[in-house]
């Protein structure tokens, strides 16, 4: 747990450093999520998790940055070790940079519903101390993105993924050398759209990732294409608290994740844990 907290703290320091750079606009927040029906492969239990998030988005002359670090804390149904009586802890970090080609070249790429074209690059990083797999995921991503002309934003990207892992089993005490999966594509959709028609300070936000199979896994088994859709409706209650708009937000979130991490949910070995249908409550403080 100490190592995981250190990683989360280092991510925070990195975010503060990034936020200190000149930006045309920026938004930084601390969030909390809670749900009781999370799923993990090779685990038949519905798992309760508390999630603390640090999020930063900003725009500058030539593009935008997105950073998110989640600290996920499971209950005892997802144990943090072979003989643990408490839950596992995980840190999952995502960073994306989008270079706006229109801003770089001075050209207008607007056409029909598309307002701009971008080039996306970034990484995913995770570490977890669960009883079985102990994931140490590293992933690089890169590819083009279409930025659609809607209120708020709606971006559709086709990204190449270069992913590896080096798990350690606490049951067998066997460490697997870092293994590189086959490079594979992902269609990524991200959005944040105000629901102005409601005459309420509501917004519909989220992401959807459609990821192809990635060849054999590190144990020689086949991987499966995965779908991960995470969406929320958020209410801005800042006005009721006398704060500036978008300072305090609360809402409901839903995640559908099939073939989680590329594990085939139809395979009985995964005990149904490769399919998650998870409702959450969510709260954010923006500063």
pLDDT class for 221, splitting at 50, 70, 90? Answer: very high
The first and second tokens of residue 103, run together, are: 């801003």
Closest by Cα among 114, 192, 117 to 148: 114
* pLDDT value for 100: 97
The first and second tokens of residue 248, run together, are: 């305090």
pLDDT digits (tens, 9 = 90+) for 128-178: 999 889 999 999 999 999 999 999 999 999 999 999 999 988 777 889 999
The proportion of the chain whose per-residue pLDDT surpasses 70, expressed as a percent, equals 92
pTM: 0.91
State the chain's mean pLDDT as an integer. 93
Domain with 192, as residue range(s), is 2-286
Number of domains in the chain: 1
C-alpha distance from residue 161 to each of 76, 154, 178, 200, 277 (Å): 33, 21, 16, 39, 25
- Judge contact between 35 and 48, C-beta under 8 A: yes
* pLDDT value for 93: 97
pLDDT digits (tens, 9 = 90+) for 19-63: 545 689 999 999 999 999 999 999 999 999 999 999 999 999 999
Tell me the mean pLDDT in the region 92-99: 97
Domain CATH for 193: 2.40.230.20
**pLDDT of residue 238 exceeding 80:** yes
- Judge contact between 214 and 225, C-beta under 8 A: no
Q: Tokens 């083009």, residue? A: 144
- Judge contact between 78 and 43, C-beta under 8 A: yes
Better pLDDT: 112 or 171: 112
Q: Where are the beta strands (DSSP E) in the chain?
A: 25-40, 43-60, 63-74, 89-100, 114-128, 138-148, 153-165, 168-169, 174-175, 179-180, 184-194, 202-211, 226-236, 248-258, 275-286
Across 83-95, b (16+ Cβ under 10 Å) vs e yields eeeebbbbbbbbb
């Amino acid at each position: 747990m100490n190592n995981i907290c250190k990683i989360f703290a280092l991510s925070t320091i990195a975010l503060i450093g990034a936020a200190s750079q000149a930006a045309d606009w920026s938004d930084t927040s601390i969030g909390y999520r809670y749900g009781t029906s999370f799923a993990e492969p090779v685990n038949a239990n519905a798992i309760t998790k508390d999630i603390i998030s640090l999020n930063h988005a900003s725009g500058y002359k030539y593009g935008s940055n997105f950073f998110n670090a989640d600290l996920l804390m499971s209950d005892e149904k997802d144990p943090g070790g072979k003989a643990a009586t408490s839950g596992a802890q995980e840190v999952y970090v995502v960073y994306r940079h989008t270079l706006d080609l229109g801003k770089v070249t001075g050209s207008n790429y607007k056409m029909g519903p598309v307002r701009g074209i971008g080039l996306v690059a970034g990484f995913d990083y995770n570490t977890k101390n669960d009883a079985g797999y102990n994931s140490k995921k590293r992933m690089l991503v890169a590819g083009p993105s279409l930025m659609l002309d809607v209120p708020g934003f709606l971006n559709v990207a086709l990204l190449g993924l270069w992913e590896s892992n080096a798990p350690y089993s606490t049951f067998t005490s066997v460490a697997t050398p870092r293994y590189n999966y086959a490079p594979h594509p992902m269609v990524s959709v991200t959005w944040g759209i105000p629901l102005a028609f409601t005459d309420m300070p509501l917004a519909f936000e989220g992401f959807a990732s459609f990821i192809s199979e990635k060849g054999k896994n590190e144990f020689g088994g086949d991987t499966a294409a995965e779908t991960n859709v995470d969406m929320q409706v958020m209410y801005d209650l800042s006005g009721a608290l006398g704060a500036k708009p978008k300072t305090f937000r609360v809402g409901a979130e839903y995640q559908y994740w099939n073939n989680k991490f590329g594990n085939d949910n139809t395979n009985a070995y995964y005990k149904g844990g490769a399919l998650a249908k998870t409702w959450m409550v969510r709260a954010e403080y923006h500063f």
